[in-house]
Chain A
Amino acid sequence: AQRVTQPEKLLSVFKGAPVELKCNYSYSGSPELFWYVQYSRQRLQLLLRHISRESIKGFTADLNKGETSFHLKKPFAQEEDSAMYYCALSVNDMRFGAGTRLTVKP
């Protein structure tokens, strides 16, 4: 069965520092992976998807099939990046990890 693991519940960095939110998945086929974000008092929303190979708000994520990982990275964190981040895996349905709360301190 497919599963998503986000090993860090909490992550705190200072503004301007690099940030990496970890995501590992278990699935034997070719996965479709996503990062969703929930800012304070807002709805859960899509941040980026691996097939698009896009950078959204300075964030990128690379799929590493060998390590079954899809870590989210940003070289210079901003205070407005503080939010809850969820990694998600889509096979027949969308499965979410437990989430990582990122806090960017001034």
Chain B
Amino acid sequence: EAEVAQSPRYKITEKSQAVAFWCDPISGHATLYWYRQILGQGPELLVQFQDESVVDDSQLPKDRFSAERLKGVDSTLKIQPAELGDSAMYLCASSLGGPSGYTGELFFGEGSRLTVL
């Protein structure tokens, strides 16, 4: 069964360093999401892509976070410089997307847990 792949699973870094997370969605899924989940809270949307275009990045702290999905397939989320408050689980999800394909079912990866020291 096809799954969303994320790497790395765990990342420990020092503040002010750069961090990057990678996500490979389910083949054929046009919509890709990056969520941040702080311990004890629900997932918070950072950015949503439709193919290679950003649909919503209103919650993305653009002074330090960036995201790209250059060919409309896999995606990278970068943080530079990392801060202590960035420690969280970073979840990637994908869905069929589009007016005829959207069902509300997001397929999640296992997540990348970031610890900033």
Could you say which residues of chain B place their CB within 8 Å of the CB of A43? Answer: 3-4, 108-110
> Quick check: is A92 within 8 A (CB to CB) of the other chain?
yes
Most A CB within 10 A of own CB, among B41, B48, B106: B106
Could you say which residues of chain A place their CB within 8 Å of the CB of B107? Answer: 45
Q: Which of B45-71 contact A (CB under 8 A)?
A: 45, 48, 55-56
| Bitwise interface map of B from 20 to 56 toward A, beta carbon under 8 Å scored 1, else 0 | 0000000000000101000011111100100000011
Could you say which residues of chain B place their CB within 8 Å of the CB of A93? Answer: 33, 45, 48, 55-56
Among the listed B33, B55, B104, which residue makes an inter-chain contact with A32, where contact means beta carbons less than 8 Å apart? B104
> Quick check: is A74 within 8 A (CB to CB) of the other chain?
no
Q: How many residues of B contact A (CB 8 A)?
A: 23
Could you say which residues of chain B place their CB within 8 Å of the CB of A86? Answer: 42-43
> Quick check: is B100 within 8 A (CB to CB) of the other chain?
no
Could you say which residues of chain B place their CB within 8 Å of the CB of A92? Answer: 55-56
Q: How many residues of A contact B (CB 8 A)?
A: 22
Could you say which residues of chain A place their CB within 8 Å of the CB of B104? Answer: 32, 34, 46, 49, 51, 90, 94
Q: How distant is A14 from chain B, measured CB to nearest CB, in Å? A: 25
Q: How distant is B83 from chain A, measured CB to nearest CB, in Å? A: 22
| Contact B108–A45 (Cβ < 8 Å) | yes
Could you say which residues of chain A place their CB within 8 Å of the CB of B44? Answer: 96
Given A49-B103, A90-B104, A93-B56, A44 contacting B91 (CB threshold 8 A): yes
Could you say which residues of chain B place their CB within 8 Å of the CB of A90? Answer: 104
Bound Cα distance A32, B41 (Å):
21
| Bitwise interface map of B from 68 to 82 toward A, beta carbon under 8 Å scored 1, else 0 | 000000000000000
Bound Cα distance A36, B93 (Å):
13
| Contact A96–B108 (Cβ < 8 Å) | no
| Bitwise interface map of A from 48 to 64 toward B, beta carbon under 8 Å scored 1, else 0 | 01010000000000000
Q: How distant is A101 from chain B, measured CB to nearest CB, in Å? A: 10
With A6-B42, A98-B41, A99-B41 given, name 7 new contacts (CB 8 A).
Answer: A46-B105, A49-B103, A86-B43, A90-B104, A92-B56, A93-B33, A96-B35
